[in-house]
Structure 1
Amino acid sequence: MAQVLDEGRFDPALRRLIGVVLLGGIMGILDGSMVAVGVDTLAARFDAALSTIGWVSTGYLLALTVAIPVTTWAVDRFGARRLWLAGLGAFLAASLASGLAWNVSTLIVFRVLQGLAAGLLDPLVLTLLARAAGPRRAGRVMGLMGMVLSAGPVLGLIVGGAVLTHLSWRWMFLINLPIGAVALVGALRVIPRDTPTGEAPRTRLDIVGVALLGPGFATAVLALSQAADRTTVAAWQVLLPLAAAVALLAGYAVHALRPAAARRTPPLIDLRLFTSGGFSASVTIMMLVGLAMFANLFVLPLYYQQQHGRGPLASGLLVAPFAVAAIVGMPLAGRLSDRLGARRLVRAGALVAAVGEFAFTRVGAHTAEVWPGLAAFVVGLGLSFVGAPTMGSLYRTLPPASVPQGSSVLYILNQFGAAIGIAVVTLILATVGDGTGVAGFHGVYWFALATIAIILTAGLFLPGHPQPAPRSAAEPATESAALAATEPGAVSEPLAVRARQ
C-alpha cells in the first residue's frame, strides 16, 4: 500500500490519511467474504440449518443497507471525524461480541449490530477520501478505494479459508480487533478535527426519509436473498418483500420530490442529483460493476470446488488473479482518469472484461486451472479500468456539499448490484444444467457478459476529458493545508470549487 501511495505522489499527510481510512474500511469487506466461506462450519458448530446460518450474512447486509442513508445526515450533524471514530468503535465492539457469541441467535444479533456500524463506515470512506483529494486527484484516490473494494473480497476468501483451516471460527470476527485498533489510533492522529463555525444551522433529520429509504432498499435486498435461497421469484417470501420495497421506495420518491415549502426538513437523499447525466451514469455503472464483480467472485470458487475438487482455501487462492489485477489496474486507471477522463477508459475496460467473460464461457470441467486463472485476471483488469475512472468522474462532478449524498447513493447501489448478482447467479446455477454443472457456470458468465455490454453503453454518458476546476484564492495551496478544510462548516474554504459538469 505504501508503495502505491508513493507512486501516486501524494503529500505525506494525505498518504497517511488514505492509509488509515482504507485500513478501517477493509474490515467489513473482509468479514463478508470470511463468513461466506464459513457457512458450513458455522452450521456444524451451532447444529443449525443452512437457511438459519444464512441470516448471519443476510442480517448484516440488511442492517448495513438501512444505516447507509443516515450517514448523509450524520456527517453534517456530527462531523466526519467523530462519526468515523464512533463507527470504528461500534464495529470493533460488535466484532468482539460476534466472536464471543454462544449460540446462533446471539451471533445473528451481533452481526446486525456490526452491519449498522459498517453502514456508517462504508460511505464515510468515500466521503473522507473524496474531500481530502479534491476533484483534481479524485480518480487517483478512487483507484485506491476501488482496489480495496475489488481485492478485499478475494483476500477475505483466502483469510477465511486459512482461519477455518487452522483456527477457531471465532477468529473470523476477532481478527478485526488488531486491525481496528491500529485504524482507530491512526484515525485519532491523522483525521482532522471538526471545526464548526457556528454560523450554519444544524440540519434536522429527515425522519420520513429514514423510515422509507433504508427499509426500502433493505426489503429489496431481502427479496433478492429469498429468491437466491428458494431458487425462484414466484414464492410469496420473494414477492411480499419485493412489493414492500417498491412501495417504500416509491413513497420516498414522492416525499423527496415535494416542494421545499411543503417539507420541514431537506430530504435524506436529494433525488435532483439524478438530473445530472454524469452522476446517473456513474452510479448506474458502479451498480453494474458490483453485479458483475460479485457474480464472478461467487461462481468461480464454486467452479474450482465442484469441477476440480478444491477445498475452501485452495479455491480462494485460485481466485487471487482477480485481486492481483485489481491491485495493479485500479491505481493505474485512477491516475489515467485524472488526465484522460472516464469515458474512453471505461469503454476500453469494458471491452477487456468482455473478452475475459467470453473466455470463461469456453472453460470446461477438465480445463487446466491456468486458463480460468488467466481469464479471472483479464476480467479483474477490465473491471478495474471501469470502476476507478467511474468513481473519480462521480466526485469530479459533485459539489463538495453533495459528496456525502453521492457517496451514500454510490455505495447503496453498488451493494444492491452485488445482491442482484448473487441472486441471479444462484437462480442460473439451480435452473440451468446438463448433468455436469458446467452449463450452469457458462450461463452465469453469459449473464456477466451481458452486464458488461450494458456498461459499455452506459459509458457513453460519462464525461469526457476532465475540465480543470479553477483554484480560488482562498483554496489551500497544498494537500496538507487542504486536509484542514475537509469538514462541513470548517473555517477554511472548501477543498475545491465545483468541477464543471
Structure 2
Amino acid sequence: MTVVVIGSVMSVLDMTIVNVALRRLSESFSAPLETIQWTATAYTLALAAIIPTAAWAMARIGAKRVYLTALTLFTLGSLLAACAWDAGSLIAFRAVQGLGGGLLMPVGMTMVMRIADRERLGRAMALLGLPILVGPVAGPVLGGWLIDSVSWHWIFLVNLPVGALALILAARLLPRDTPGSRTAATPPRLDLPGLLTLSPGLALLLYGLARGGERGDFGAPGALLPTLAGAVLAAAFVRRALTVREPLLDLRLLRDRTFAAGIATLALFTCGYFGSMLLGPLYWQQERGVSATAAGLLGAPVGLAVGTTMQIAARRIDKVSPRRLIPVGIAVGALGMALVGLQVGEAGVPGWRVVAAATVMGVGVGMVLMPTMTTATRDLPADRLAAASTALSINSQLAASVGTAVLSVVLGSAGTDPSGFRLTYAIAASLLSLAILPALRLPARRRS
C-alpha cells in the first residue's frame, strides 16, 4: 500500500502541476498555447495506448516487474522533460511519462486487490484513494509556487526524489509474484490483433474527442475522422474479444451483474464529474478575474471534501449495502453540481457560496468513486482482477474524455457568461443523476 500510494501521488501531482504551468511553458519555449497543450494530449494518448496491455503484462512477467517498469518510465520521462530544449522534445518526453503513468494505476490497483482481505477491501481502496485527497489540493499550489519562484524545470524535477523513493521501496517491499496463473513453460500469448485495434482505437477516440471539445465542433474533419476511426477500431476489438479464447482484455467480465452495474455507474458519474473540472478554473479566471494559482486554491476545498469523504465511505462499504450508500452519494453529488450552476448563473453572488456548493458536490463524489470500484471488484475471482482493474482504468479515461468534450462544446455554444456556465453545470448535474439508474442494480446487501 505504501509503494502504490507514493507512486499514485507522484502521478496525480504531476498532472495537476503541469495543467497549471501550460501558459508559462508556452512563454518559455516561445510556442503557441495550442502547441504546448500537446504536452497534456501526448501524455493522455500514451496513457490510452499502454493501459490495454496492463493485464497481459502482469500475466506475462508479474505485477511487481510491471510496476517497477512503470515507475522507471515515469521517473525517466520526468528527467527528460526537465531537460527538454524545445516544445517538440517536451511533447515527446511527456509521452514517455504517459507510458509509465498509464500502467501505475491499473497495476497498483491489481496488487492491492490481490493482497487485501476481501472483507476489508473497502479500507484498502480508501488508502488507494489518498492521492485524490493530496493531488488536487497540493498540485495547483505547488505548481504555481515552482513556476513563480524557481523555474518550469522544477515541475518535472520534483518527481525525481519521489520516483527514486518509490523505486527503492518497490524493489524492497513489494512481494514477489508469479506471472499470472500459468507456469513459465506456457507464458500467455499477446493478442496482437487485439492490441492493434484497442490501443490505437482508444488513442484516436480520445484525440478526436479532445479536438472536438477544443474547437467546439465534433463535425470538423480534424475531430470527426479520428473519432470515427477510433470507434470502428474499438468495435472491432469488442467483436474479437468476445470470440477469441485469450483476448487482450477479457470483456466477459461484463457478464458479472455487479461488475457491469459498477462500470456503468462509474462511466456516467465520471463523465459528469471529471468533465466538469474544466468549468471551475474557467469561471474563476474569466468571470471573477482571479489568477490561476488563486483558482487552484479555490478548488482546494472540493478536493479535501472528495478525499475526506472517500476515506469514510470506502470503509463503510465494507459494512453497509452498496445500493443504499452509492445512490445517496450520486444524489448529493448531483445536488451540489446543480447548486454550483445556480450560483455561477447569478450576478454578484459571493464567492464563498460557489465554493460551498462545490464542496457539497465533493462530498457526493467521495461517496461514489471508491465505494463503487470496491463493490464492482470485491467478489471477482483473483485471476480476473488484473482484467478488472484494466477495464476500470480504460472506462475512467474514456468517460472523462467524453464528458470534457461534451461540456466544452456546450459551454462554447452557450457562451462563457453566467448563463452559459449555468447551462453547462446543469447538464453535468444531469449526467451525474443518470448514474443512479445502474447504481440501483448494485447488490442490496453485502455478500459474504
TM-score (norm 1): 0.85
Amino acid at match of 2:396: N
Q: Which amino acid aligns with 1:215?
A: P
3-state DSSP of counterpart to 2:447? coil
What is the CA–CA distance in structure 1 between the aligned matches of 2:91 and 2:202, rounded to whole Å? 20
Q: Which moved more, 1:377-386 or 1:43-52?
A: 43-52
List, as ranges, runs of 4+ consecutive aligned residues in structure 1 with deviation greater than 3 Å: 195-200
Alignment correspondent of 2:291 = 311
Please give the alpha-carbon distance, in whole angstroms, between the structure 1 residues aligned to 2:134 and 2:328. 21
- 1:267 aligns to what SS in structure 2? coil
Q: Select between 250-259 and 407-416 the one with higher mean Cα deviation.
A: 250-259
Q: Which residue of 1 aligns with 2:338?
A: 358
Gaps of 5+ in 1: 1-17, 261-265, 469-501
Distance in 2, matches of 1:151 and 1:286, equals 21
How far residue 447 of structure 1 moved from its aligned partner, in angstroms, is 1.3
Q: Which letter maps to 2:433?
A: A
Taking the aligned partners of 2:360 and 2:185, their CA distance within structure 1 comes to 49
Question: 1:80-127: CA deviations, max 9, x gaps?
Answer: 111111111111111000011000000011011111111121211211
Is the aligned partner of 1:173 residue 2:156?
A: yes
Q: Which residue of 1 aligns with 2:89?
A: 106
Aligned partners of 1:228 and 1:423 also within 8 Å: yes
Identify the residue that residue 70 of structure 1 maps to in structure 2.
53
Alignment partners' CA distance in 2, 1:306 and 1:259? 52
1:98/1:107 contact within 8 Å kept: yes
Matched, 1:385 2:367: yes
Letter in 2 for 1:56: T
RMSD: 1.7
Match of 1:374 in 2: 356
Q: Give the C-alpha shift of residue 296 in structure 1.
A: 3.2
**2:78 matched to which residue of 1?**
95
Partner of 2:210: 225
Distance 1:218 1:341 in 2: 37
- The 5 A counterparts of 1:246-395 are 246-260=231-245, 266-363=246-343, 364-395=346-377
In structure 1, give the amino acid aligned to 2:156: F
Partner Cα separation in structure 2 for residue 284 and residue 151 of structure 1: 27
Match of 1:42 in 2: 25
Shift in Å at residue 253 of structure 1? 1.6
Separation of aligned partners in 2, 1:185 and 1:259: 40
Name the aligned partner's letter for residue 403 of structure 1.
L
Match of residue 118 from structure 1: 101
- Report the CA distance between 1:149 and its aligned residue: 3.6
2:3 maps to 1:23: no
- 2:375 aligned with 1:399, yes or no? no
Offset at residue 158 of structure 1 (A): 2.4
Deviation at 1:396, TM superposition (A): 0.9
Letter in 2 for 1:414: S
Note the C-alpha offset of 1:151. Answer: 5.0
The question of whether the paired residues in 1 share the 8 Å contact of 2:212 and 2:223 is answered with: yes
Match of 2:425 in 1: 445
The yes-or-no answer on 1:464 pairing with 2:444 is yes
Q: Which residue of 2 aligns with 1:236?
A: 221
- For 1:71 and 1:409, the matched residues in 2 are separated by 10
| Contact residue 133 and residue 308 of structure 2 kept, 8 A | no
Shift of residue 365 of structure 1?
4.0
Counterpart of 1:206 in structure 2 is: 191
1:161 to 2:144 alignment? yes
CA contact (8 A) 2:141 2:296 kept: yes
What TM-score do you get using the length of structure 2 for normalisation? 0.95
Cα displacement (A) at 1:143:
2.3
**Identity within the alignment, %:** 37
**Deviation, structure 1 residue 150:** 6.0
Distance in 1, matches of 2:431 and 2:12, equals: 23
**Cα offset for 1:380?**
0.8
Q: For residue 494 of structure 1, what is the aligned residue in structure 2?
A: none
- Assess if the C-alpha contact under 8 Å between 2:4 and 2:128 holds in 1: no
The residue number in structure 1 matching 2:405 is 423
* Aligned CA distance change for structure 1 residues 271 and 393 (closer, same or farther; 3 Å): same
